[in-house]
Structure formats: C-alpha cells, structure tokens
Amino acid sequence: MRAFPVSLPSGARYWTVLDEDLVVVAVADGFLRHVRFGRDGAESTTKSYANSIALFLRWCARTGRSWQEGAEQLALFMTWLTYAGQSASGAETATAVVLAGPGGVPARGARRVNGVLTAVRAMVVHAVAAGQAGGQLLPLLYEVADDRDLPEAARDSDGRMSWRMRARHRLHEPQRPVGRASDADIVAVLRACRSARDRLIVLLMARAGLRRGEVCGLRRSDVHLLADSAALGCEVARAHLHVLRREDNPNGAWAKSRRQRSVPLDFLTVQAFDTYVVERMSVPRAADGDFVLVNLFRAPFGAPMRPDAIGDLLAAASRRAGLAPELRPHQLRHAFGSNAADAGCGIDVVADLLGHASVSSAQVYLHPDPARLRAAVDLAPSPRQQVGVTR
C-alpha cells in the first residue's frame, strides 16, 4: 500500500492509495476524491491523508484483516503505529516484524499518531455514508461528549452545555510552546537576506502570518497599500492584503483556508513592499505579470516563485546568519501568532489573522514566550510596594 499522485485531464491533482498490485484502493480513492473535489480540499491535504490511510491499509493487509475489521480494532492499530518504525511499517517491508510494543521506544509521537487516526476515521465515516460499510462502525470510533474540554471561545455562546462526537482513540499530546522563531532570529535572518524581495518574504510570514503557499500565491490586485482603498472597491481601511484561494496558480501555490481574509500590514512591511517594487522594476522581464513575488535572479525571469523556493532561501539566509538549526517558514508564522497573543490579542483575533477554520487551532499560541513570562512577573508589584514600604 502506498500513496500515489493522480493528475486529471483538467490539470487538477489529488493523491490516492494503490495496493501491492498497483490497483487503486476504491474505499480510499472515493474518500480522497471527495476531500479534494467535494470539500474543496488542498492537494497537500489529500497527500497527507493518503499517506496516513496507506499506513492503516498496510497494517490491515499484514495482519490479515479487511479494512472494516481493522476499523473495529483501531486500538491495536494505534499500538502498531506507535511502535512500528520505518523498517516495520514501510511500503518496502515484505514480511511481518515482531515489535516490542508498550515499554519500548515509540517510533512516532502522539501528534503524528493522532493525525493518522484522524484520516482513518474520516475515511470510515465517508465509507459508511457512501454505503461501503455498515453504520455499526461509527459507535466504535466515536462517543458522545460534552463541550467542557473545549476553549471558552469555542463553547456555546449562551452558556448552555452542548454535545458533540468525540474520538474514542486518541493519544494525549503534552501541551508545549509552539515552535516559533525568536525576535532575534528574525532580525538576524532579515540582515542576512541579499535582496529586497527576500526581506519582504520574511516579513510577510513574520509580520503578517502568511503561509508560504499564501505568500507565493499573492497577486498584485491582492495588495492594497493606500490609506483608503475605496477607489479599488475595497472597504478595508489602511494598508492590508487579501488572501484568496485560487486553483489556477501555475507555481502550485495554494491558500489552505477556503475563506478569504484580509491581513493588516504594518509600516515595516509596507516599506519593504516599496523597496521591492523598485528592485523588481530593474529587471525588465520581471516588471510585468500579476504575481507579486517572481524570479529576479535566475531563469525563468518573471515567473512566479514556487513555495519550495521559500524554504530554500530561508535556509540559505539562516546559514549566513549562523543560525542552527535553520529557520523554517512555519516558524515565522508561529512567531507572528505568538507575538499577537503575547500582545494581548484574543484567541478569536489570532485565529482570524492566521486564517484558522477553528478557534481551537489558535490555542497553541496562548503559551507565551518564557522571557515574557519572566518580564510579567518582574512587573508585578511586591507586597512592600503595595503598602508603601520603601526600605
């Protein structure tokens, strides 16, 4: 069982799952096509789901179970998934491998295991809805639960308790501060950038929270730098940009969120835009074109930048700045979300700025930087100060 990309005659792409005979697995393919075209999901989402489902179907095949029987024994799959490393769970492994199981060193963390289980449950639910499996599978995967474990912003607004379906199989994920770039690292990378374009890219992620696919998908018409954009038919005040999902980007850029959002821009980012425009105009073949970020220093000149190039330029700038490990694009986005939360923005504001579909997705940013925790303690007045004792 392995994940495999599919290109349709229309040019649209999604990922599916093939069995050992390179035949499409119908139950997986039906679900993945639904995610891509029925729910307008991103190609990258189907890739992630396909790799997760391939692991599940691989375990079913190697243990002599049908996928329906595997769904009934999801706890056993969890154990295998946790302790089976690449040598045991890889597509090239031809024979069964005896595992140490609980007590051994886990091969996958809780977050990865939970991500795989989410994909498997979604496939089973789709199969039940499509008549490919019986409804008796659903109570084995979900239980009825209340909303008391959800963040306050995600609960019922009138204070009444509401009910939802909660997954039965899930590992506990320890809460930890999100992996973010520090302010000092961001400044170091900005200083190590060799062009105005690269500095703008860093600022769009670190000061506006854009994903790399959103950065590469920006069109000129999405950027409004005037104090009043009413003449452009836009009612949003002051400098900002719009993040839109488009499926016709030739560079493969993709906005993850289906919902359009506007992101305010600060003076530093606006200034970076102005400097970049001057730099871009100096390259005749790059002066035209609708994409904001284009190739300026290598062929094909003027072509829109690909998302993979963002990671490469950030890695190169990190090496020049002497940073180890190298910064990743998502760490800059995390820095923006963390800084917004540290500045006192509510979780709903952070979620909206970052384009999260669920408020709970922004909850990870509510863990402030340790240095700011120390500063907060230092700012709190001591009992001696409160009673007016000076010595």
Instruction: Indicate whether 278 and 243 sit together in one domain.
Output: yes
Q: Which range marks the domain in which residue 155 is found?
A: 2-167
Peptide bond into 304 cis (omega under 30): no
pLDDT, position 86 = 77
Question: Do 190 and 149 have their domain in common?
Answer: no
Is residue 247 domain-shared with residue 310, that is, in the same domain?
yes
**Does residue 380 fall inside a structural domain?**
no
| HEC-encoded secondary structure of 188-224 | HHHHHCCCHHHHHHHHHHHCCCCCHHHHHCCEHHHEE
Identify whether residues 302 and 211 lie together within a single domain. Answer: yes
Q: Of 203-207, 213-217, 361-365, which gets the smallest average pLDDT?
A: 361-365
Side chain identity, residue 37: F
CATH number at residue 285: 1.10.443.10
Domain final residue pick, 167, 195, 225? 167
Q: Tell the residue number behind the tokens 């599919």, with chain if given.
A: 6
C-beta separation of 170 from 114 below 8 A: yes
Is residue 385 in a domain?
no
Amino acid at position 221, single letter: S
Instruction: Please check whether residue 389 lies inside any domain of the structure.
Output: no
Q: Give CA–CA dist 307/305, Å, rounded.
A: 7
Q: Do residues 253 and 161 both lie within one domain?
A: no
At residue 387 the predicted structure's pLDDT band, cuts being 50, 70 and 90, is low
Q: In sequence order, which residues have a C-beta less than 8 Å from that of residue 208 and are 6 or more positions away?
A: 241, 263, 264, 265, 269, 336
Is 88 part of a structural domain of the chain?
yes
Q: Average pLDDT of 231-259? A: 84
Confidence of residue 88 (pLDDT cuts 50, 70, 90): low
Residues 6 and 122 in one domain: yes
Give the pLDDT band (50/70/90) at residue 51.
very high
> What pLDDT, on a 0 to 100 scale, did the predictor assign at position 289?
82
* Cβ pair 243, 261 in contact under 8 A: yes
Residue 188 in this model has a pLDDT that exceeds 90: yes
In sequence order, what are the residues at sequence separation of 6 or more whose Cβ sits closer than 8 angstroms to the Cβ of residue 122? 31, 35, 49
For 59-70, the pLDDT digits (tens) are 998 888 999 999
Do the domain assignments include residue 286? yes
Check whether residue 120 and residue 225 sit in a common domain: no
Give the pLDDT band of residue 186 (cuts 50, 70, 90).
very high
Q: Calculate mean pLDDT across residues 240-261.
A: 82
Average pLDDT, the chain: 84
Task: Judge whether 178 lies within some domain.
Answer: no
- Backbone CA torsion sign across 150, 156, 157, 161: negative
User: Does residue 341 belong to any structural domain of this protein?
Assistant: yes
Identify the band that residue 298 occupies on the pLDDT scale cut at 50, 70 and 90: confident
Q: What is the pLDDT of residues 159-182, one digit of tens each?
A: 565 556 778 888 887 766 667 888
pLDDT at 345: 77
Q: How confident is the model at residue 32 (pLDDT cuts 50, 70, 90)?
A: very high
DSSP 147-162: STTS-GGGS-TTS---
Question: Is 386 inside a domain boundary?
Answer: no
Same domain flag for 228 and 348 = yes
Do 325 and 360 lie in one domain? The reply is yes
Asked if 159 and 131 sit in the same domain, the reply is yes
pTM for this entry: 0.70
Domain match, 14 and 135 both: yes
Which of these, 108, 115, 105, 10, lies nearest to 52 by C-alpha position?
Answer: 115
The one-letter code for the residue type at 341 is A
Phi, psi of 102 (to 5 degrees): -50, 135
Number of domains in the chain: 2
Q: Strand 240-243's sheet: what is its strand order? A: 223-224, 240-243, 261-264
Alpha helix segments (H runs only) across 252-382: 267-281, 307-321, 329-342, 347-354, 370-379
pLDDT of residue 316: 93
pLDDT at 177: 62
The residue among 354 and 145 whose pLDDT is bigger is 354
How far is the CA of 217 from the CAs of 220, 256, 293, in angstroms? 10, 11, 8
- The answer on 366 and 229 residing in a single domain is yes
